[in-house]
C-alpha cells in the first residue's frame, strides 16, 4: 500500500455508502476536488463520525487509490456546527458548497476557493451581515477566482473608463452611455452598483465582507448576478430552489 498523504480542505458533500460507510467530496488545497471513502464512519463509535459532515474544515489523511481515496484520519479545525442552527443561513452555506463544487476540478490548486468558502461561511454567522449581500459577493468572487466574470472597469466598445452606465450579460462587460445601443441585453447600472462590483472583483479576501450597501443597490446587483449565473452556469442548484421558498 502506498504512503498516506495529508491534505487541507473542506467537505463539500457527504453521502451514505453501504451500511456503515460514507462517501465524501472534498475540496483540497493540494489536489482540488477529490472523492474519498470513510469506512465505518456512520458507526456511533467511529473516530470519523463528526469529521465526515458537510462544512467541516481541517486536514485529512488519505490513502490514494486508482479512482478515489480512503480517509483514515481527520484533524478538524472548524466544524461550523453553529451554522446548522441558523436558518436560512445554512441553506446559503449549502449553496456556496454547491457552487464551489461546480467549478472545482481534480488536480487544480484550490487555496483561493477554500479561503473564500471559509470566510463566507464565517460571514453567514455574523448577525449584522445581510445573507443576500453575502450571496452576491460569493457568486461574483467565485467567478473571479475561476476566471469567468464581467469586465467592469472600461467600456468594451470604446475603452472609456467614465460614465459606465450599462452592463451586457452576453458580452460580459460594461458600456459607457455613448455605447449603450451596442448590445440588446443591456442592463442599466448605477454608479453605486458599479463601484460595488468593482470593489468585490478587485479587493482582497480579507476585506470582502467589511461593507454594506443600500437595499436599492443590493437589488440591482442581485438582478445582474442572477442573470449572469443563469447565462454562464449550465446547472440548476437545489439549494437555490429551497432559498426561493424560504426567502
Please state which CATH number belongs to domain 5-79.
Answer: 2.40.50.140
Query: Which grid cell sits at 182?
Result: 451596442
CATH H-level, domain 83-246: superfamily: Recombination protein O, C-terminal domain (1.20.1440.120)
Q: What percent of the chain has pLDDT over 70?
A: 99
- pLDDT, one tens digit per residue, over 146-187 is 999 999 999 999 999 999 999 999 999 999 999 999 888 999
Task: Give the full edge-to-edge strand order of the sheet including 164-168.
Answer: 173-176, 164-168, 186-188
**For residue 5, how many other CB atoms are within 10 A of its CB?**
14
Asked whether this chain's domains 5-79 and 83-246 adopt the same fold, the reply is: no
Query: Which grid cell sits at 191?
Result: 454608479
Band (64; pLDDT cuts 50, 70, 90): very high
* Alpha-carbon span 177 to 189, nearest angstrom: 10
User: What is the reported pTM?
Assistant: 0.95
Band (131; pLDDT cuts 50, 70, 90): very high
* Alpha-carbon span 66 to 69, nearest angstrom: 8
Own/partner pairs for 166-170, CB < 8 Å, 24+ apart? 167/224, 169/224, 169/227, 169/228, 169/231, 170/231
Report domain extents, the chain. Answer: 5-79, 83-246
Amino acid at each position: 500500500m502506498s504512503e498516506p498523504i495529508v491534505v487541507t480542505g473542506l467537505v463539500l458533500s457527504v453521502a451514505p455508502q453501504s451500511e456503515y460507510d460514507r462517501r465524501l467530496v472534498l475540496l483540497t488545497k493540494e489536489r482540488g476536488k477529490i472523492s474519498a471513502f470513510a469506512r465505518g464512519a456512520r458507526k456511533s463509535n467511529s473516530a470519523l463520525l463528526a469529521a465526515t459532515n458537510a462544512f467541516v474544515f481541517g486536514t485529512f489523511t488519505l490513502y490514494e487509490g486508482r479512482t478515489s481515496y480512503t480517509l483514515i484520519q481527520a484533524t478538524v479545525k472548524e466544524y461550523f456546527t453553529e451554522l446548522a442552527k441558523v436558518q436560512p443561513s445554512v441553506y446559503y452555506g449549502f449553496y456556496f458548497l454547491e457552487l464551489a463544487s461546480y467549478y472545482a476540478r481534480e488536480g487544480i490548486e484550490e487555496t483561493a476557493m477554500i479561503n473564500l468558502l471559509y470566510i463566507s461561511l464565517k460571514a453567514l454567522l455574523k448577525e449584522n451581515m445581510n445573507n443576500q449581500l453575502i450571496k452576491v459577493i460569493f457568486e461574483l468572487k467565485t467567478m473571479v477566482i475561476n476566471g469567468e466574470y464581467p469586465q467592469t472597469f472600461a467600456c468594451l466598445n470604446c475603452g472609456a473608463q467614465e460614465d459606465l452606465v450599462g452592463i451586457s450579460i452576453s458580452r460580459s462587460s460594461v458600456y459607457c452611455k455613448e455605447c449603450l445601443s451596442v448590445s440588446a441585453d443591456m442592463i442599466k447600472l448605477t454608479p453605486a452598483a458599479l463601484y460595488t462590483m468593482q470593489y468585490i472583483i478587485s479587493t482582497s479576501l480579507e476585506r470582502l465582507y467589511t461593507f454594506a450597501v443600500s437595499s436599492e443597490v443590493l437589488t440591482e446587483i442581485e438582478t445582474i448576478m442572477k442573470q449572469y449565473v443563469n447565462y454562464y452556469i449550465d446547472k440548476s442548484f437545489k439549494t437555490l430552489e429551497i432559498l426561493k421558498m424560504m426567502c
